[in-house]
Structure 1
Amino acid sequence: MTRTVLFATDLSAENRAAFARALRLAHADGAQLDIIHVLDPYLPRRVFHQVEAAVVDDIAATLKDVREDYALEEPQTLIQTVAGAPYVEIIREAHERQADLVVVGMHRKRGQKDLLAGTTLMRIIRSAPCPVVVASQPPTQPWESILVPVDFSLTARHSLREALQRFPDASLTLLHAWSLPGERELGSHPYYSQWRDHEVARLRERLAQEIDSLMSELAGVPDVELVLEHGPPCEVLNAYIKRHTPDLVVIGSRDQPHHASQMTDMLLSEPHCDVMLCRA
């Protein structure tokens, strides 16, 4: 069965990087690239078909331009329009096409966390049946440096599995944010310092065992580096991204129906790299 990468375009200039990334991913995976645009269902009937034809022509022209700009091969491609609410139709198409991956462009409300909740992007992330790539960086090359925040949750294990299976040639860094009780009150006490160092070493060993266990189930996995840093998860992740500028962050999505996680909000409100969200 042919794999499918579903790219949802809003025809904007900001979507161009995501268009090119979808092309690169589909070609690398030997997948078909299905490109869809959701039309306003309330367009007057007499102009609907004209608009539809114009949209398909525009997508085809952009496809040609992007391929030439980034010197990309063209995978098997299907261009199609649908009418309805954008997030509903994109999710429905992902289900019906049994998509392996959905690719979308970054939203336009950068730096405004409070405005993310009701966007099409957040609704797709919460309901898509497969991982969602939110692309904003020029795809001049395949992702080589990939960052995966990890803890002991099943969600983190699932996102790590996705990264290991999908990107066997990349360099993966697994980042864990740690904190221990009593640091503020007892942090300078020598006995506390010894206990803290022992606990962090024990934590590293447990994480390494978890990772080794998962990697033993898979074939052809890449080399990984485990990094432990002290602090709250969002702060640790944000600081690490700014220092090391990875190509991609892969995280598990544990969002509630109407509330995104703090980590998801942070990554999408001020994007420094592409993001792949994996629903557990």
Structure 2
Amino acid sequence: MASYKRVLVGLDLSEESSQVLQKAGEIGQAFSADLSLVHVIEPLTFAYGGDIPMDLSEVQEQLQSQAKDQLRKAAEKLNVPAERQHVVLGQPATEIHRLAEELEVDMIVIGSHGRHGLALLLGSTANGVLHGAGCDVLAVRVNVE
């Protein structure tokens, strides 16, 4: 079995993130691995295609501030230090790959909602991370309650 020393945990900060955190904590404990947490915020211009003639930078800053606060609270549960908490702006799968390479992680842990039908055809962040990662990826099946 592979030995994991550095694990990157991708969180969407939804209620289901606690399930991903729990599994990551178990892996961290089992392998005495260092955990890093990441939340990727897609720029609002991506979501709206730049068609809205307004300055969204203030809203973007508020989203980043809220995400940092939520990630800090999640990190406290597993004693992940501030220097291993990352809130980044960009396309989720791309940024998770970039950070995983930068941090030289052995494993990425991410949540998977197990979508079917059209959502499956369109792809998901977990699928994007899985197919472009240079290390092992654990997709934790989250139960939506």
Q: TM-score, normalised by structure 2?
A: 0.75
1:113–1:98 distance in 2 versus 1, CA, 3 Å: farther
Give the Å deviation of 1:116: 2.1
1:106 is matched with 112
1:54 and 2:54 aligned: no
SS at structure 2 position matched to 1:33: strand
Specify whether residues 14 and 113 from structure 1 end up closer, same or farther in structure 2 by C-alpha distance, changes over 3 A only: same
Residue type of the alignment partner of 1:32: D
Aligned position for 1:81: 87
Note the C-alpha offset of 1:75: 5.3
1:13 is paired with a residue of what secondary structure?
coil
Shift of the 47–115 alpha-carbon distance from structure 1 to 2, 3 Å rule, reads: closer
Identity of aligned residues (%): 27
Alignment coverage as a number of residue pairs: 128
Q: What is the alpha-carbon root mean square deviation over aligned residues?
A: 2.4
Q: Give the drift of 1:5.
A: 0.5
Q: Which runs of 5+ in 1 are unaligned?
A: 68-72, 139-280
User: How much does 1:108 deviate?
Assistant: 5.2
Whether contact under 8 Å (1:116, 1:122) holds in the other structure is no
Q: CA separation in 2, counterparts of 1:87 and 1:31?
A: 22
Residue 8 of structure 2 aligns with which residue?
6
Aligned residue among 111, 136, 145 for 2:141: 136
Match of 2:96 among 68, 86, 90: 90
Contact kept? 2:101, 2:134, Cα under 8 Å: yes
- The TM-score, its normalising length taken from structure 1, stands at 0.41
Structure 1 residues 179-207: Cα deviation after superposition (integer angstroms, max 9, x where no partner): xxxxxxxxxxxxxxxxxxxxxxxxxxxxx
Q: Aligned ranges for residues 127-276 of structure 1 at < 5 Å?
A: 127-136=132-141
Task: Specify the structure having the higher radius of gyration (Cα).
Answer: 1
* Residue among 99, 115, 119 paired with 1:115: 119
Q: Which digits, 9 at most, give the CA deviation of each residue in 1:71-110, with x for residues without a partner?
A: xx6355611111111111111111111110000012252x
Residues 9/75 of structure 1: CA separation in 2 closer, same or farther (3 Å cut): closer
Partner of 2:29: 27
CA spacing shift, 1:49–1:115, aligned 2, 3 Å: closer
Which residue identity lines up with residue 124 of structure 2 in the other structure? T
Report if the CA contact (8 A) 2:39-2:87 is conserved.
Answer: yes
Secondary structure of 1:12's aligned partner: coil
Secondary structure of 2:44's partner?
Answer: coil
What CA distance in whole angstroms lies between the structure 2 residues aligned with 1:103 and 1:8? 6
Q: Residue 60 of structure 1: SS of its match in structure 2?
A: helix
